[in-house]
Amino acid sequence: MSFESFRFHPQINAGIRDLGYHTPTPIQEQVIPHALAGRDVIGIAQTGTGKTAAFVLPILQRLMRGPRGRVRAMIVTPTRELAEQIQGVIEALGKHTGIRSVTIYGGVGYQSQIQRLRRGVEIAVVCPGRLLDHLERGTLTLDQIEALTLDEADQMFDMGFLPDVRRILRLTPVERQTMLFSATMPDAVRSLAREALRDPLTVQIGRSAPVATVTHAIYPVAEHLKTSLLIELLERTDAGSVLIFTRTKHRAQRLGDTLARLGYRATSLHGNLSQNRRQAALDGFRSGRYQILTATDIAARGIDVAHISHVINYDMPQTAEAYTHRIGRTGRAARTGDAFTLVTRGDTAMVRAIERLIGEPLKRETVPGFDYNAAAPAHETRPDAVQPRHHESHADAAPRRRHPLRDNDTGARPVHTPRMTGMTRAERSDRREARRRRDYASGE
């Protein structure tokens, strides 16, 4: 099967040819015909399977007909990085069509987004919080939406955005085409799909498990020795490009700074950084300027870098599914990769959950010659203050704000602050659950 068989508009086919696309991926092959017919679709597949083109191409085809200069299609995604990736795909596939798009997310000023909207666009790629802010300001309306796509729905759930998504759904026309894409289908996302979609076709590609090209290993270690063990692993491993995941934004920054001071080409990616700094970190990591990127879970599905040789979980993820998303950053495009995880006694239950998911035990490893019995430094008062190889003053640490006015990933207010009147009892319950999940996902 080739892309020609879909019979896209010639201007869309020109964009497909420019990108060198010839044969659709399995999810594209199964989703695109039904999406072109206007049917609601649920797509379940891991990152790297071609999901973005599976919904962008039908949207472009729809917009070739009808009026221009108004927002007729909207794609909702959880993070800025994903929004920019989707925007890049739209621009590449649609560069011959004249269809215009805009990204709407927090952490940047409103004015440039407002100017783009005033000049006229047909597609908006949005993060939930900043979208709701624009709706409150009256700078964007959703009454002309014909096609709505919810991308990475399970990550939006993990980050606490489902209450916001439900509010957005109520503000869009009932008569619309809706597509939902997700790597997994937890009960909350399944419930959302029942609310948002009408008689959807479900397409599932593969299962929620790591790719077979990734080798897994866990390294049991005391909490206060994590940094020392990480450095030993980096010194003893012939690693190319390394992505290191931490639980909090504060720890990602501290760890990146520590590695940089030790002479590694390292940088950090987390929600406390400005958009310019986040983009510079990603660009530097992609280009090879930086060998190591320390990041929170915004990078688990927020970046697309093909050459990552190692993923290291400095901290255990919150769920077994999140583990698959993290290590899915390596072993891509038929390459092999390695996934190392530092585990403490408190991680036992999660290790078992991951082993059940991948269907095999994780190999336990130790580093010869490493002193696993070293005592914690006397000045250490909390896990985030891990400094076994150097002394860092508290003045060097990034300030923490427990309740920022806006979420740095999306521009959303804290989940306990209602944006619009008319919140239902169910939404208030959703927000209580959202607070717990967003605190973890945002690294507070």
Tokens of 197: 């979609």
Cross-strand partners of 123: 73, 101
Burial (0-12, 13-18, 19+ Cβ within 10 Å), 52: buried
Closest CA to 202 of 179, 219, 220: 179
Helix 51-63 / helix 80-93 crossing angle, nearest 10 deg:
50
Rounded CA-CA distance 274/444 in Å is 17
pLDDT of residue 334: 42
Burial (0-12, 13-18, 19+ Cβ within 10 Å), 96: middle
Helix (H, G, I), strand (E, B) or coil at 441: helix
pLDDT of residue 386: 43
* 398 Cβ neighbours under 8 A, 6+ residues apart: 249, 250, 253, 254, 272
CA angle centred on 56, ends 52 and 58, rounded to 5°: 130
Rounded CA-CA distance 189/299 in Å is 21
Burial (0-12, 13-18, 19+ Cβ within 10 Å), 129: buried
List, in order of start, the domains of the chain with CATH numbers: 3-204 (3.40.50.300), 214-396 (3.40.50.300)
Rounded CA-CA distance 282/231 in Å is 22
pLDDT of residue 304: 65
Full pLDDT tens readout for the chain, 444 residues: 889 999 999 999 999 999 989 899 999 999 999 999 999 999 998 777 789 999 999 999 999 999 999 999 999 999 888 999 999 999 999 999 999 999 999 988 999 999 999 999 999 999 999 999 999 999 999 999 999 999 999 888 877 888 999 999 999 999 999 999 988 888 888 999 999 999 999 998 865 545 556 788 999 999 999 999 999 999 998 888 899 999 999 999 999 999 999 999 999 988 788 878 888 888 899 888 999 999 988 665 656 676 788 999 999 988 887 888 788 766 444 456 788 999 999 999 999 999 888 888 899 999 999 999 998 776 554 444 444 443 333 333 344 443 444 444 444 444 433 344 445 555 555 555 555 555 544 444
pTM of the model: 0.68
Closest CA to 367 of 226, 266, 214: 226
CB 264 within 8 A of CB 320: no
Helix (H, G, I), strand (E, B) or coil at 86: helix
pLDDT of residue 425: 52
